[in-house]
Structure 1
Amino acid sequence: MKTKIGLIIVLFIAVISIPGFSLESGAKKYESYLHYLQGIIFLRNNEIAKAQYELEKTIDFDKNAAPAYKELISIYINIGNVSKAQMLAKRLKNISENQDTKMFLGGYYVYAGDTTSAITQYEEILKKSPDNIDSILMLAGIYSEINPEKSLNFWDKFISYKPDSSEAYLRKSVVQRKLKLLEDAKKSLIKAIEIKPDDLLTHVALSEIYQDEQQYALAGEELYKCTVFENENYALYIRAGEMFVLANDMERAESIFKESLKVSKDDPLVYYWLGLLYESRKDWGKAVEYMEKSISGKPDVTSFLKLSYFYTQKNDSKKAIKALERAQKFDPKSPEIQFFLGLGYLDKKQRSKSIKHLKKALELNPELVDAYYYLGTIYEQNNKIDESIKCFITLLQYDPKNAVAMNYLGYTMADRNMNLDESEELIKKALAQDPENGAYLDSLGWVYFKKGKYAEAKAEILKASEKVKDPVIFEHLGDIEEVLGNIESAIENYKKAIFFTPQSKILKKKIKKLEKKINSK
Structure 2
Amino acid sequence: MKKILIWALCAVCSPAFALPLTAESRREARQINAFLKAVYAQRANDNASFALLQQALKLSPDSAYIKRLLVAQALAEGKPELAQPYADFVPADSTDPEDWTVYGAYQWKLGQVEEAEKAYEKALALAPENSQVLYQYASLLSSLGSMQAAAKLLELAEKYPALAADIYTAAGNIYGRSKQYQQALAYYDKALAVSPKEPAAMLGRAEVYEKTSQYFLMLHELEELEKIGYGSAATYSRMGSVFLLVKDLPKAETYFLKAKADDNGDIPTSYFLALIAEQKGDYARAAGYVRDAADYNENASKWVQVSFYLQRLNQPQESLKTLAQAYQKFPGNVEVAYFYGVALNDNAQYKKAARVLEQVLDTNPSYTEARMQYAYALDGLKKYKALEEQLEMLIGENPQNAAALNLYAYSLAERGVRLNEASGYAARALAVSPQDASFIDTMAWIYFKQNKPDLARDLFTSLDTETFSANAEIAYHYGAVLVALGQQTEAKKYLELARREIKAAEKLYKKIK
User: Structure 2-normalised TM-score?
Assistant: 0.57
Q: What's the secondary structure of 1:155's corresponding residue?
A: coil
Within the alignment, does 1:406 sit opposite 2:337 as a pair? Answer: yes
Within the alignment, does 1:455 sit opposite 2:389 as a pair? Answer: yes
Structure 1 residues 426 and 197: alpha-carbon distance in aligned structure 2, compared to 1, 3 A threshold? farther
Within the alignment, does 1:477 sit opposite 2:411 as a pair? Answer: no
Tell me which residue corresponds to 2:475. Answer: none
How many Å separate the matches in 1 of 2:422 and 2:34? Answer: 91
Structure 1 residues 173 and 93: alpha-carbon distance in aligned structure 2, compared to 1, 3 A threshold? same
Equivalent of 2:320 in 361, 382, 389: 389
Letter in 1 for 2:404: L
How many Å separate the matches in 1 of 2:11 and 2:327? Answer: 74
Structure 1 residues 56 and 224: alpha-carbon distance in aligned structure 2, compared to 1, 3 A threshold? farther
Structure 1 residues 460 and 55: alpha-carbon distance in aligned structure 2, compared to 1, 3 A threshold? farther
Structure 1 residues 390 and 169: alpha-carbon distance in aligned structure 2, compared to 1, 3 A threshold? closer
How many Å separate the matches in 1 of 2:19 and 2:238? Answer: 62
Within the alignment, does 1:377 sit opposite 2:312 as a pair? Answer: no
How many Å separate the matches in 2 of 1:154 and 1:271? Answer: 41
Structure 1 residues 438 and 324: alpha-carbon distance in aligned structure 2, compared to 1, 3 A threshold? farther
**Contact map agreement 2:165 2:190 (CA 8 A) in 1:** no
How many Å separate the matches in 1 of 2:136 and 2:32? Answer: 27
Structure 1 residues 174 and 232: alpha-carbon distance in aligned structure 2, compared to 1, 3 A threshold? closer
Tell me which residue corresponds to 1:421. Answer: 351
Query: Structure 2 matches for 1:272-311, cutoff 5 A?
Result: 272-281=203-212, 283-298=214-229, 299-311=231-243
Structure 1 residues 235 and 478: alpha-carbon distance in aligned structure 2, compared to 1, 3 A threshold? farther
Structure 1 residues 142 and 459: alpha-carbon distance in aligned structure 2, compared to 1, 3 A threshold? same
Equivalent of 1:111 in 36, 57, 72: 36
Tell me which residue corresponds to 1:70. Answer: none
How many Å separate the matches in 1 of 2:19 and 2:135? Answer: 42
Structure 1 residues 57 and 448: alpha-carbon distance in aligned structure 2, compared to 1, 3 A threshold? same
**Contact map agreement 1:176 1:184 (CA 8 A) in 2:** yes
* CA RMSD, 1 decimal: 5.6
Residues 427-486 of structure 1: CA deviation (Å, up to 9, x unaligned):
3555677666554455445545655412213425766x69xxxxxx94313315646838
**Contact map agreement 1:268 1:295 (CA 8 A) in 2:** no
Residues 268-312 of structure 1: CA deviation (Å, up to 9, x unaligned):
555445444444455544444444444444444443333332233
Query: Structure 2 matches for 1:320-399, cutoff 5 A?
Result: 320-324=252-256, 340-347=272-279, 350-351=280-281, 353-356=282-285, 358-359=287-288, 373-381=304-312, 384-396=315-327, 399=330
Deviation for aligned residue 1:267: 4.9
How many Å separate the matches in 2 of 1:258 and 1:514? Answer: 76
How many Å separate the matches in 1 of 2:403 and 2:246? Answer: 36
Structure 1 residues 385 and 106: alpha-carbon distance in aligned structure 2, compared to 1, 3 A threshold? closer
Structure 1 residues 256 and 363: alpha-carbon distance in aligned structure 2, compared to 1, 3 A threshold? closer
Deviation for aligned residue 1:344: 0.9
Tell me which residue corresponds to 1:129. Answer: none
Letter in 2 for 1:313: L
Query: Structure 2 matches for 1:37-436, cutoff 5 A?
Result: 90=21, 93-94=24-25, 110-113=35-38, 138=65, 141=68, 155-156=90-91, 159-160=92-93, 167-174=98-105, 176=107, 184-190=115-121, 192=123, 200-202=131-133, 204-205=135-136, 215-217=144-146, 221=150, 226-228=156-158, 229-232=160-163, 234-236=165-167, 238=169, 241=172, 250-267=181-198, 270-281=201-212, 283-298=214-229, 299-324=231-256, 340-347=272-279, 350-351=280-281, 353-356=282-285, 358-359=287-288, 373-381=304-312, 384-396=315-327, 399-400=330-331, 402-414=333-345, 416=346, 418-430=348-360
Structure 1 residues 188 and 92: alpha-carbon distance in aligned structure 2, compared to 1, 3 A threshold? same
Tell me which residue corresponds to 1:80. Answer: none
Residues 142-198 of structure 1: CA deviation (Å, up to 9, x unaligned):
785799667555633xx34x5x66554434434556777665444444555577777
Q: Which structure 2 segments of 5+ residues have no match?
A: 39-52, 75-81, 413-420, 456-513
Structure 1 residues 92 and 395: alpha-carbon distance in aligned structure 2, compared to 1, 3 A threshold? same
How many Å separate the matches in 2 of 1:327 and 1:116? Answer: 46
Structure 1 residues 180 and 375: alpha-carbon distance in aligned structure 2, compared to 1, 3 A threshold? closer
**Contact map agreement 1:275 1:288 (CA 8 A) in 2:** yes
Structure 1 residues 51 and 279: alpha-carbon distance in aligned structure 2, compared to 1, 3 A threshold? farther
User: Structure 1-normalised TM-score?
Assistant: 0.56
Structure 1 residues 115 and 344: alpha-carbon distance in aligned structure 2, compared to 1, 3 A threshold? closer
How many Å separate the matches in 1 of 2:112 and 2:442? Answer: 71
Tell me which residue corresponds to 1:75. Answer: none
Q: What's the secondary structure of 1:170's corresponding residue?
A: helix
Deviation for aligned residue 1:389: 1.6
**Contact map agreement 1:140 1:154 (CA 8 A) in 2:** yes
Q: What's the secondary structure of 2:90's corresponding residue?
A: helix
How many Å separate the matches in 1 of 2:331 and 2:122? Answer: 53
Q: Which structure 1 segments of 5+ residues have no match?
A: 1-34, 39-48, 64-86, 124-134, 467-472
How many Å separate the matches in 2 of 1:217 and 1:440? Answer: 49
How many Å separate the matches in 2 of 1:88 and 1:277? Answer: 73
How many Å separate the matches in 1 of 2:164 and 2:251? Answer: 36
Structure 1 residues 437 and 294: alpha-carbon distance in aligned structure 2, compared to 1, 3 A threshold? farther
Deviation for aligned residue 1:420: 1.8
